[in-house]
Amino acid sequence: MIIGAAITEDEMIGSFLKGEINSVRFSDALKDRMQTLEVDPTVVTDPDFSNQTENSLRRRLFGAYRGYAENKELFEDFPSDVVWYRAALDYNEIKKIKYINYSYWNDLSDNTRLPTVASENIKRGYEAFHVANTNFLEAAAWLRNGNVFPELILVTKNPDTDLVVLEGHLRLTAYALAPECIPNPLSVIVGISQNIVDWPQYSDN
């Protein structure tokens, strides 16, 4: 992994929200929160990180929507000292990225948390918890049509330890289904903290 320039927490939040605004699974919940908090859609779809009012709105939205900085939901016990960077990964590094430690992804990947294993299960028709794999297959087909995904957001303890996907599970699975479409190198956002091992979604325990 080649670590590039540091980015702000506000940029990570903006990328996370923008990555899920069109998500089949998450967009309805995000849009409901946006409506409740009266957040204009362009604050998510066209973020201006130099605008501190916008940054505050996105941070508030992210907390309400996903529990960020509120010690709730996905971000329960998530460390507060994560430093965010842009980074570049090669193909072998991409293959080793893990899903979060969550029952659905564990089941789909035979408890390996590896998308390469999940993709083989998807190809043979296995459906974790009887959830259809249509979204994965459609995303892989979308890639094969020449389209490009937004950046994945990953976390790790340090550059030599496991990379775990924080945002972009469907996209990562689509890459595993259509590896010929993975950019080389792949640009990602990565958060680094020695304390990430205390986040239950990172570790296997």
pTM of the model: 0.96
Q: 87-114, pLDDT tens digit by residue?
A: 999 999 999 999 999 999 999 999 999 9
Tell me if 194 sits within 8 A of 158, measured CB to CB. yes
55 vs 46: CA distance, rounded Å: 12
- Contacts (Cβ under 8 Å, ≥6 apart) of 155: 82, 163, 164, 166, 190, 191, 192, 193, 196, 199, 202
Q: What is the pLDDT of residue 205?
A: 59
Q: What is the pLDDT of residue 47?
A: 95
Tell me if 105 sits within 8 A of 99, measured CB to CB. yes
Ranges of residues in the chain whose predicted pLDDT is under 70:
205
**Backbone phi, then psi, for 154, in 5-degree steps?**
-120, 160
